[in-house]
Structure 1
């Protein structure tokens, strides 16, 4: 059989998509008070008008301590109206909208949030310079219920897809990683125990929403640090999630926001820019040998997760989203030929929100992103996440 056309209509669970392209979740930096703003809506409308089939709203926290920092939206009655307005705006342009539903766990900045972070096991936080406490049974029951409540509210808001964040050393991922999970109870030790929270959350969310929306999960092909989720572990977790039957697709990612963020992004490591954007204690810490080692440099190459992603494709029948270094039309077409059902893009669309429309019209075959990663620190800057190169060239942000 011939590979599907990446720009042809497709389905994701019960959702009809106008094509197979996904704007991946990257924090927008446009919610200074934890509420949807006109700027956030405009941020998502840019790639939607530029041809993407599904845009993903990043970092929708299920609980206050689950925010990466205080500007992140917590899904609740007080944010429902704004989220509805955002979903309506995306639908009016003919695209679908996903919400990345998550709990940051040890990636949360407890000092910024005003409430201490939780994780699989206690550990010092390099972000808040506080101790992260080990989640209790009561915490895990509460968090699971919070995922369910957030899912229901996002359905009410009109979202089409719920993306459960199970990667990047967020709370669920911290349970999966043996180096971060030193528990001796039913949540630690064996992989079955460490995967309990991931499976419990997926099941609870599916039980709540049924077939009203698509439910997906972002999972790791490899965390990229000793004691993190390996490709073998990630595959086993994916097999368990597939066997449970609660998900419509998996998005294949990698790296750790806590331990090794550049493993996900690849390309230049913007150490100076990141340090400048951080609070003073973190800035000073980044000048130490340990701090400098945090921002490793990995050479960029197109489709850099493909080898690992192919192992997942060979082992699973569940629909998969290919992610990681997608800038060229031929990479997207190769992903279709490899058997992936969707292609997710991040930096390329931040640099050129209209890239997909130009590809579809035959006016472009690749993006112009140079993978300098200077966009990463802008999530903390006034005006929000943007491509500094585009701003320097044009005098106005390409993502505005």
Structure 2
């Protein structure tokens, strides 16, 4: 088959995208009181005007306790008017829009949300300084249904796609991880048991929406920690998702927001900037021990490609390559290796119009220097500090 042009139209489930580049989900912190703001609309409108095929809203929690913090979109009827304004603004620029739906699980800030966070196993959160509760079977059933309800709301709001969050040790991903999930019941132990939450959420969404909307899943390939979720198990979960027909594409990611966040980003670790976002005594704690948690990994283009190749070899399902995509040559390489889409984040924070300029002149360089100082801005309003 001829190598597709990354800037040619492409089919994603029932949706035709104008090109194969997706703006990856990056928490925007632009949803006060869990509602869409004008700033959030402008953020995604700018990326749509800049040339992406689809932009991803990050992130749309399916339950009140599933937010990483209180000012994060909660998928509920009250949010519909704002969500419609958001999708209409993106569509007016010619792009599609996806809602990343999920439940933060142990990554949620229970103190901010005013409701306890949930995890496979009861533990303590250094973020909220509160106990994280063990999810009951009733919690799992409720959260599974909430994914389906959120997808239906996304259709009503005018979204073209939903992306189910199955990574970064959020709720579903925390069940997948043998390091985090110490349960002895039907949701713990074997991979088949640990995968029930992730597979169940995807099936529930498919059963609810059929083919009225594209369904992606963001799947962690590995947690980046000893004893965590690893490639061999992730590949099996991917094959189960493909078998079920519950998703139209997989976006492959890595790392754990709970245990090793920099494993996803690579490049410099902005410890000083992270420390400045916290009050004392947490600020001092981050300054003193931040290097143990915010580890630093060398940056290279397409840094997840080597792992993602194993998924490409084993699956027929369309795949989205994420991680270090900032040059046109990298996008072309992804197409040559059989990936149907690429996803970008940091480079577009620096230059929302980068793709328009790349389409006109393929040799256009990205100005992103991978300093990762955009990461601490998620506690205010996400932006590139150098732009």
TM range (shorter): over 0.9
Alignment partner of 1:42 is 2:39: no
Aligned twin of 1:199 = 199
Partner of 1:30: 30
Note the residue ranges of structure 2 that are not aligned, 5 or more in a row: none
Measured after TM superposition, the shift of residue 32 of structure 1 is 2.3
Looking at structure 2, the residues matched to 162 and 272 of structure 1 have their Cα atoms a distance apart, in angstroms, of 35
1:355–1:364: 8 Å Cα contact kept in structure 2?
A: no
Does the alignment pair 1:153 with 2:153? Answer: yes
1:90-114 per-residue CA deviation (whole Å, 9 max, x = no partner) reads 1111110000001000000101111
Tell me whether 1:360 sits opposite 2:353 in the alignment.
Answer: no
Mapped partners of 2:286, 2:384: distance in 1? 23
Q: What corresponds to 2:182 in structure 1?
A: 182
Structure 1 CA distance for aligned equivalents of residues 68 and 280 of structure 2: 18
Structure 1 residues 1-400: aligned runs within 5 Å: 1-289=1-289, 291-362=290-361, 364-381=363-380, 384-390=381-387
- Local SS of the residue matching 2:386: helix
Describe the SS at the equivalent of 1:286: helix
- Length, aligned pairs only: 387
Q: Deviations over 1:156-190 (max 9, x none)?
A: 00101110000001000000000000000000000
When residues 375 and 98 of structure 1 are mapped into structure 2, their CA distance, relative to the original with a 3 A threshold, is same
CA distance in 2, matches of 1:205, 1:140: 14
The Cα offsets for residues 38-84 of structure 1, whole Å up to 9 and x where unpaired, read as 11011001111111000000010001100000110100011011001
Compute the displacement of 1:366 (Å).
Answer: 2.6
SS of 1:33's equivalent in the other structure is helix
Q: Is the 8 A contact 2:160 2:213 kept in 1?
A: yes
Please say which of residues 29-38 and 174-183 is displaced more in the overlay.
29-38
Give the Cα–Cα distance (whole angstroms) in 1 for the partners of residues 300 and 145 of structure 2.
41
Please list the CA deviations of residues 342-395 of structure 1 after superposition, one character each: whole Å capped at 9, or x if unmatched: 0000000000000000000116433110000000011112xx1111111xxxxx
* CA distance, structure 1, for counterparts of residue 282 and residue 102 of structure 2: 24
3-state SS, counterpart of residue 353 of structure 1: coil
TM, length-normalised to structure 2: 0.98
Secondary structure of the 2:372 match is: coil
Q: What's the CA shift for 1:280? A: 2.9
Does the 8 Å contact 2:6/2:332 carry over to 1? Answer: yes
State which drifts further: 124-133 or 172-181: 124-133
| CA distance in structure 1 between the aligned counterparts of 2:23 and 2:151, rounded to whole angstroms | 20
The 2-side partners of 1:256 and 1:263 are apart by: 7
CA drift of 1:269 comes to: 0.3
Q: CA deviation at 1:227?
A: 2.4
Q: Mark the runs of 5 or more structure 1 residues left unpaired by the alignment.
A: 391-400
SS of structure 2 residue aligned to 1:327:
coil
- 1:330 and 1:365 in contact (8 A); partners too: no
Give a deviation string over 1:132-168, Cα, whole Å, max 9, x none: 1110011011111111111111110010111000000
Deviates more, 1:34-43 or 1:359-368: 359-368
| Of 335-344 and 122-131, the range deviating more from structure 2 | 122-131
Q: Which moved more, 1:232-241 or 1:163-172?
A: 232-241
Question: What TM-score do the two structures reach when normalised by structure 1?
Answer: 0.95
Partner Cα distance (1:306, 1:353) in 2: 24
Counterparts of 2:197 and 2:174, CA distance in 1: 10
